[in-house]
Amino acid sequence: MSRLKEIHGPRAWVVVGVVGLSLALLPFFGLPAHLVPLFGKFLCFGIAALAMDLVWGYGGILSLGHGLFFALGGYGMGMYLMRSIEGEGVYRSALPDFMVFLDWKQLPWYWHGFEHFGFAVAMAVLVPGVLALVFGWFAFRSRIRGVYFSIVTQALTYAATLLFFQNAAGFGGNNGLTDFKRILGWPLHDPGTRAALYVASAIALVATYILCRYVVTSRLGRVLTAVRDAELKTRFCGYESTHYKLFVWTLSAMLCGLAGALYVPQVGIINPSEMQPANSIEMAIWVAVGGRGSLVGAVIGAWIVAGGKSWLTNTIPSAWLYVLGGLFVVVTLFLPRGLVGLIPKLRLALAAVLRRRAGPAV
């Protein structure tokens, strides 16, 4: 199946630069302060959508577990934010409040090091990457693919959700991590800090797009799409498909972790609900709606679906799940290439209208 092509050449970099600059400067040119965190969330969703499209649209690997990688990145940043306010909680203890409440006597070993911002960011990216690498190594070497791979990733996500829901796991249980106050010494509720987090998310989104575009347009990307379309033939030609799939799978997980790390300080909470399989399915819907196999389409789909969810859950909360399910059915049946796939059809229709208006050539 042919895919929509991204813009190539110098024009592409001009477009990326203009769009990126416009996004980064949006809070300083009329965006209301209360909408800055919301739009920052959308930027993080755009990064996650690019990661999902990289592995599904170009690698042909439908993952229903990317919500886990997103949440792990969020927990990495949340642990840093909790440690940055040691001694300032309700109990004035060096331990987080939830640990004091549960009568923990000392900080678990896996919390050490998260008092440093750089370490926390590294862990937010590396932990999802290592988990994806180990999981993918066993799954791809076992030739698990298609719907079976999707089911296994969903099972992995569900197992992790059950683990993090337990108080004994040391991650806040059902309530998760919250009550954050500052990041790098700056108050999180300060408008300047929120604007800075938004700008960081915009820069990360543009950098992620550039990285993904480089991957899919490189020789590696061409082999990856060949594996997607005809894996057996690609292996027959001498390319070890397991290596290519494992690379893009691991990179995608790390990008999701980065998105989660940027997401948490802007929403102020991270809990196991972010890992639930429904969130991973929603990521797949972002890509399907925007256009699988189109990086720009993935971002657009994430923004449209996330924006619709934000509006509907505030106006008609009970309608959102029905709208989401209906949207997925409509896109699957009538828009297999997503909303971006409408652009060539609209161009052809517009050209036909213009030709009719111009009349027959003399």
91-122 tens-digit pLDDT: 778 888 889 888 898 999 999 999 999 999 99
Tokens at residue 20, please? 């990126």
From residue 59, give the alpha-carbon distance in Å to each of 29, 54, 131, 244, 251. Answer: 39, 7, 19, 9, 12
Question: Can you say how many angstroms the Cα of residue 163 is from the centroid of all Cα atoms in its chain?
Answer: 22
Q: Which residues fall within 8 angstroms of residue 221, CB to CB, at 6 or more apart?
A: 58, 215
Q: How confident is the model at residue 314 (pLDDT cuts 50, 70, 90)?
A: confident
Q: How much is the average pLDDT of 60-79? A: 96
Q: How confident is the model at residue 163 (pLDDT cuts 50, 70, 90)?
A: very high
Q: What is the distance between the alpha carbons of residues 161 and 83, in angstroms, rounded to a whole number?
A: 23
State the DSSP H helix or E strand holding residue 28, giving kind and residue range, or none if neither: none
Sequence ranges of the domains in the chain: 10-275
pLDDT for 321 equals 81
- Using alpha carbons, select from 58, 52, 56 the residue that is nearest to residue 223: 58
pLDDT for 8 equals 52
Q: Which residues fall within 8 angstroms of residue 290, CB to CB, at 6 or more apart?
A: 49, 53, 296, 297, 298, 299, 300, 301, 302, 304, 338, 339, 340
pLDDT for 6 equals 54
The overall average pLDDT reported for the chain is 89
Q: What is the distance between the alpha carbons of residues 298 and 287, in angstroms, rounded to a whole number?
A: 5
